[in-house]
Structure formats: C-alpha cells, structure tokens
Amino acid sequence: MRRVLALLALSAIVPAACRRGSESQPMAGMTPEQHAKMGTSNRGDSSGAPAREPVILTPAQAAAIGITYATVERGPLFRVVRTVGQIVPAEPKLSDITPKVDGFIERLFVDATGVTVRRGQPLLTLYSPMLVTAQQELLTALQLAAAVDSSQVEAGRNAQNLIAAARRRLAYWDISAAQIAHLERTGEVTKTLTLTAPFAGVVLEKMVVAGQAVMAGMKLYRLADLSTVWVEGDVFEQDLAAVEVGVPARVEVAAYPGKPFVGRVSFVYPVVDEQSRTARVRVALPNPDRALRPGMYATLYLDARLGNDLLSLPSDAVVMTGERDLVFVARPDGTLEARKVTLGAHAGERVHVLQGVKAGERVIASANFLVDAESRLGTGKGMAGMPGMQP
C-alpha cells in the first residue's frame, strides 16, 4: 500500500515540475533590460495605476461613438463663488444714544423700536439735578464777574475763569451753545436736557421707558442709517484665493425675485472659522429706498478672477480614475494618447491645468470613457471589434 501511494505522489510532482520548467524557460534567456521593461508594463505609472495604451480611431469610428474635440486654451479664467449671506446695518452708520449725566427720563418723544427719525429730532428729555446745579453755577459766576470792580484785575480774571469752566461743563454734557446763550441772557435754569437724533435713520433698539433712572454712559437708543447696508457671507477656505477686495458681486434676496443688487466686495475678514473652515466677506450696497432690511437672507454670487493667463480645457475632457486625472490628446497621426494632467481650480465648465498639456493641443471632450476603456484593454487594434464599429 505504501508503495502505491509513493508512486501516485511521484506522478503528480513530475508533471508540475516540468510545467514550471517550461514556463520559466522563456524568461531564462531575457536580458535585465527586458526584465525591467516587463515589470514596468505590469506596474503601470508611478501612481500605481495600470498603464494606458494609445488608441487608434478612424474618423468614421470617432463619429459613430460621438467623439468631439476641444482645444487647450490659454487666457483669463473666471468662476462664480456662490454663498448665502445676511443683510446687516453698516457699522460706521450706527450710533448709540447715551446721556453724559445721571438723571431721570421725564418724557419720551420716540417711544417704540423701528421708528424712523430725522436728523435733530428730539428723542427724550432728561431731568438731571447735576444739570440744574451746573446751570446755577454758571449764573452765579456771571453775577460774581459783574460785581467785581474793574480795578481788581486778579479777581476779575478768576471770575472769568469760573464762567469759562461752567460753560465747558455744560458743553461737555451736550448743552448747545444756543442753549447756554439763552441761559445767560434770561437767567432761566433749564430743568431738563433734550437728547436729539444725530442723523436720519431707524431706531433699532430702545432700552428705556418714561420715569426710568439712568446713569451716565447708559445706552438708551441704538440708531442706524440704512442708506447703506452690508451683506455678509461665508466663503469656503478653498475659494479664498479667488475672492479679494473689489471683486464684483451680485446679491439676490427672496423678497425681490428677479431684481439683483450689484456691488463689490469691500472687505475680507482676516481669520478662518475653525469649525466651518470659512471666512466672512462683506459687500456694501447702497440702499436709498430702504428696500434692503437688516435680518434679510441673501444669496451672493461673487465673480472671482482666477488669473489672466492660465491654461485650461473643458472639465468634461478629464477622466478621473480615482488615482490620477487623464485626458486623451489627439496626435497628428490620429492616435489618441492618454496623458496624465495636474488640475487646478474649476472655472465654470472649464478647469485650470497646471501641467500635462500645452496650449493648442486637441483633446477628446466627449465619449472619453469609451476611449479610456479601450486604452485599458491595450489591444492596440483600435475599436473595430466593438458592435457597430466595423470599418
């Protein structure tokens, strides 16, 4: 029994050894250069992707599968960066109304948020014991100055200094020169101080009610001049290189469909948000009719210029394999050569090419995936074997 098993094992080993010998025999006579060439053809390019072979197509075959061609061009490239933004008041046109003395709100002329005010319009009256005291000090200084004999030079100088100091104190508390002159002429002490609007605008915030005690520096109103507004939006980090101050911008809001507002980027914030990986951009828009209101959402379209002299080709011409980007270049003899390209930013239907092709070369712009499939087969016989492709 053992002898039978040994014979069976020997009969299996000998044919296998013969096959290995016959398979290795052709490689035994190969030179090192031939070995290297075979290894390169099996490995593909440096990215590890399989190598592509040139494809030969007759004009009739190219027309049959719908191949079209495009030319690699050099020139300016633009792209539209789209983002969502919000309308906010322009910060230089904001103002907080604050008193400079302690007191009590005696009367409110503007008693609601959202009210439109004109420049110089009274907002409220403030009763302030400090204000009354300061006015009485001015009147007292005037009386002392009038009572000083003209021969008493030093006393007269001191009296004038007291008058000037009392006037300055009232001026620092926003008492106008006309009011001070009226006080000096009539001797009538004003019980209240009237605060007025510094410009025409809208009351965004009102933080005070009648009878309320207030302190110096307390914010009573916030006013905004809405003749100019800002639209602020967030731009992704990869788009920041194309967005700079002065870039034309088109703004659309849902309240006015079909009516875009045109402006330019006025500021790009110098920091990127760590969570969203975006930076904020600002577009200043004139708003003479107050159609744009703070709080509205808007869509921004920024016409970014990528460059003035860039190499580009249609995006559809690129075959993205996942390992590399390829285009098929038409040689003068009609052969289609698969060529690796390095791409930059996309600009609408075109893409910036950093390297791999030259200006003026013709590339396949459609049906390139069919050509890529044939190139991967590497038969070198063209596509004549495909159904409907016989010459």
Q: What is the pLDDT of residue 344?
A: 84
Block residue for tokens 């000083």: 148
> What are the pLDDT digits (tens) for 18-62?
444 444 444 444 454 444 444 443 445 555 556 678 888 778 887
Q: What Rg, from alpha-carbon coordinates, does the chain have?
A: 42
User: 251 is written with which tokens?
Assistant: 């703004």
H or E element that contains 80: strand 73-89
- Return d(Cα 69, Cα 313) in angstroms, integer: 11
pLDDT in tens, 4-16: 334 334 344 334 4
Q: Write out the two tokens for 87.
A: 């309308």
Region 325-350: mean pLDDT is 85
In the 8-state DSSP scheme, what is residue 153?
A: H
- The answer to whether 314 and 350 have CB atoms below 8 angstroms apart is yes
The string over 214-247, giving b where at least 16 C-beta atoms fall within 10 Å of a residue's C-beta and e elsewhere, is: beeeeebbbbbbbebbbbbbbbeeebbebbeeeb
Q: Other C-beta atoms within 10 Å of 147: how many?
A: 9
Q: Among residues of the chain, what percentage have pLDDT more than 70?
A: 83
Backbone phi and psi for residue 148, each to the nearest 5 degrees, phi listed first? -75, 135
Q: What is the pLDDT of residue 21?
A: 41
Dist. CA 347–CA 77, nearest whole Å? 6
CB atoms within 10 A of CB 97: 22
pLDDT tens, 253-283? 999 999 999 999 999 999 999 999 999 999 9
What's the chain's length in residues?
Answer: 391
Instruction: Report pTM.
Output: 0.66
Given a contact cutoff of 8 angstroms between Cβ atoms, the answer to whether 67 and 388 are in contact is no
Q: Is 5 helix (H, G, I), strand (E, B) or coil?
A: helix
* C-beta neighbour count of 327 within 10 angstroms: 26
Domains of the chain: 49-76+308-377 (2.40.420.20), 80-91+226-306 (2.40.30.170), 98-224 (2.40.50.100)
Q: What is the pLDDT of residue 296?
A: 96
Residue 244 predicted with pLDDT over 70 = yes
